[in-house]
Amino acid sequence: MSYQVLARKWRPRIFAEMAGQQHVLQALINALDHDRLHHAYLFTGTRGVGKTTIARILSKCLNCEVGVSSVPCGECSSCTEIGEGRFIDLIEVDAASRTGVDDMRELLDNVQYAPSRGRYKIYLIDEVHMLSKSSFAALLKTLEEPPPHVKFLFATTDPQKLPITVLSRCLQFNLKNLSAERITEHLQFVLGEEQVPFEEAALWSLARAADGSMRDALSLTDQAIGHGGGQVNEGEVSAMLGTIERSYVVDICQALISGSGTELLAAIGRMAEQAPDYDAALTDILSVWHQVAIVQTVPEALDKGVANYTELLALAAAVSREDTQLFYQICLLGRKDLQLSPDAKSGFEMVMLRALAFRPQTSAQVGSGPKAVAKAQASAAVAPPLEVEPSGKKPEAVVTAVVDDRPPLEPAVEAVAEAVSAPESTVKPVTAAPVEPTAQLVVESPVEVYQKSVQPTGYDGVQEAVQKTVDGAVGQPIEETVDETIKETIEEASEKPSQERTPLQTPEAAPAPAPIPLERFTPDNWIQLRRQLSIGASLGEIASHCLYLGRSGQQLNFLIDSDHNSLYDEPHQEQFSEALSDYFQQPVTVDITLGVAEKETPRAATTREKAERLVEAVDSLNQDPAVVKFKQLFDGELDERSVRPID
């Protein structure tokens, strides 16, 4: 017997053998089982997703000698002849070759006659959008009111070209492109049945190249088997497709993470020996960063069978989330610039070097360069003595031997400081009083001196120091209102000891509560236990919306609010059981039911407590003496939207 290609040999014969398209299959199965059959069906989708295959299986279901069913027997003469393409009552028409109105009229002349052998006479018109307008006009009346023994099955890749009058007379089913995961699973099954050795990474390459088409994937697999001499391996598949092996892409990503330009250029050089398509290489790198981002955010969402799964886990552990997003964005934008570069290789190298250059440096990287060392040495040296003019002029800056590392001025203080430190039109040379030559001198601006003066630190002569500094720096009288305001603020701040102020204090960390034993676990302490439970973000969100109902032996009963049931899935129940078993150090099971939460859930408790802390923070700020004074001084208001409680 002659060889039959995989796409034909492994064409599904029943609905159960279909890969994907469950949304279409379920509707057809229900219609067949409940005898609610339409007279015209339209299947749309890209090439190779199963349009004609589903139409032929539906023909079997309608004409099976056993009876109309969603599971044809596959053994009767009708099923056999339909599978072989020679059933007399299944009229298959290629609309691309029979587009004229005369062809359509000839086809419809026999509609009125009963089927010869089958239960229904079925017209299967492929690429129906290729029919002419006259053909559609001739078809409309029959399509609207066909005889009871006639069924129309249409398939098209471009439903937009069909007249709306035809679309309105059909049940339309849109077939989706198949995912790479689904295609890979099917290829594994087919090659396993064919007893062909394969590498999983090679199947992933074939699945991505198929671009959602199962027929294309099987055709490429046939080609890969011939190219590889009876086996499917990644190297041969990459050479056949003109792509690069995934290992080269992973090496480049690892070099980006390491921050080494030498390693990066070496990895690009090794890949360049394969004469790759650099745009496709950037696409593969984008795919890697996308999968790394998924692992970092929702680890369980990534299929463990994906190519280079172990390497992806290592990359995700070695790079921060911020760097992952940065690398992805730069590579994404680099694809647009690649076509503008002098040659593809140099453009690709510049994209990678740009990603390396724009990556924020860590503290270790910043302190390791020669410039950083020189800067550190320079800052360690003692500042030379200032030159002093023996004149009787007032000094224009105050010299102190203390290095001030206080935080910057608040906006309200800056407003006053700007008025105080306004310079003259002519700048005088800076002079200073004689100081000890061994002291390290730091020249402070009038703003810094004023900042010191308004803090209630108990300094002596604060007002006098500020006044002298202002007179020396400005050289002219200050506005009377500003002067009086400064004096009053300094006097009040100096008179009040620092202990009287009540700023917001960071609460001391409370000791971690002891774990709750299973015997004492009740609905009252469920909120406390949830906060002690270390679980992932997805499962944690579900647990936070659950109420604990009670225990039945080793089974813990929970209720999740129906408003949040979209978060819940069956695997979460098993993960929840494992997390609680680890917490209690003994095996327990979890049963989650849907309902209405009548008590406070952990999420609601967290929201309430956060709101209470926010109210306390606002009240504390409104009672703070410094805040009160500034509000009175500048007629200001506290922006409560900017207040954040300290957890």
Q: Give pLDDT tens digits for 66-97.
A: 989 899 998 999 999 999 889 999 999 988 88
- Pick the more confident residue, 347 or 410: 347
- Please tell me whether residues 12 and 123 are part of one structural domain: yes
Edge-to-edge strand ranges of the sheet holding 546-552: 546-552, 555-561, 589-595
d(CA 200, CA 222): 16
More confident site: 245 or 162: 162
| 206 lies in some domain | yes
Judge whether 433 lies within some domain.
Answer: no
Q: What is the DSSP letter of 159?
A: G
Phi/psi region, residue 549 (left: phi>0; alpha: psi -120 to 50; beta: rest), is alpha
pLDDT band per the 50, 70, 90 thresholds, residue 491: low
Residues 28 and 162 in one domain: yes
Q: Please, which residues bridge with residue 122 across strands? A: 90, 151
459-476 per-position pLDDT tens digit: 444 445 445 544 544 444
Bridging pattern class, strands 121-126 and 150-156: parallel
Give the pTM: 0.53
Asked if residue 422 has pLDDT above 90, the reply is no
Q: In this structure, is residue 43 part of a structural domain?
A: yes
Is residue 62 domain-shared with residue 89, that is, in the same domain?
A: yes
pLDDT band at 571 (very low <50, low <70, confident <90, very high): confident
Q: Are 557 and 591 in contact (CB under 8 A)?
A: yes
Least confident of 21-25, 32-36, 457-461: 457-461
Say yes or no: 236 and 250 in one domain: no
Asked whether residue 168 falls in the same domain as residue 65, the answer is yes
Q: Is residue 368 part of a domain?
A: no
Mean pLDDT over 5-20 rounds to: 91
- Checking if the pLDDT of 490 tops 70, the result is no
Residues above pLDDT 90, as percent of the chain: 35
User: Cβ neighbours of residue 202 under 8 Å, at least 6 residues apart?
Assistant: 224, 232, 233, 234, 236, 237
Q: Which helix (H) or strand (E) holds 550?
A: strand 546-552
Measuring CA to CA, which residue among 406, 404, 628, 402 is closest to residue 496? 628
Give the number of other Cβ atoms within 10 Å of residue 123's Cβ: 24
State residue 288's pLDDT score: 92
Rounded Cα distance, 35 and 62, in Å: 10
Examine the domain organization and report whether 12 and 161 are in the same domain: yes
Average model confidence (pLDDT) across the chain: 79
Q: Is the pLDDT of residue 440 over 50?
A: no
SS3 535: coil
How far, rounded to the nearest angstrom, does the alpha carbon of residue 265 sit from its chain's CA centroid? Answer: 29
- For residue 384, being part of any structural domain is answered with no
Contact criterion met (CB below 8 Å) for 539 and 575: yes
| 525 has a pLDDT exceeding 80 | yes
CATH number of the domain bearing residue 274? 1.20.272.10
Distance CA 434, CA 413 (A): 31
Q: How far apart are CA 326 and CA 293, in angstroms?
A: 11
Query: From the centroid of its chain, how far is CA 524?
Result: 36
At 513, the pLDDT band (50, 70, 90 cuts) reads: confident
**Pick from 123, 145, 174: which residue ends a domain?**
174
Is 80 exceeded by the pLDDT of residue 390? no
Same domain, 40 and 170: yes
What is the percent of the chain with per-residue pLDDT over 70, rounded to a whole number? Answer: 76
Instruction: Look at residue 512 and tell me if it is in a domain.
Output: no
- Provide mean pLDDT across the span 370-387: 43
Q: What's the pLDDT at 626?
A: 87
194 and 144 in a common domain: no
What is the per-residue pLDDT for 460? Answer: 47
Mean pLDDT of 516-534: 87
Task: Specify if 86 maps to a domain.
Answer: yes
* 300 close to 310: Cβ distance less than 8 angstroms: no
Residues 591 and 455 placed together within one structural domain of the fold: no
> Which of 174, 190, 206 lies at the terminal end of a domain, its last residue?
174
Q: How many domains does the chain have?
A: 6
552: helix, coil or strand? strand
Q: H-type helices in 320-426, by residue range?
A: 321-338, 344-357, 363-366, 370-380, 411-420
Domain range enclosing 541: 518-599
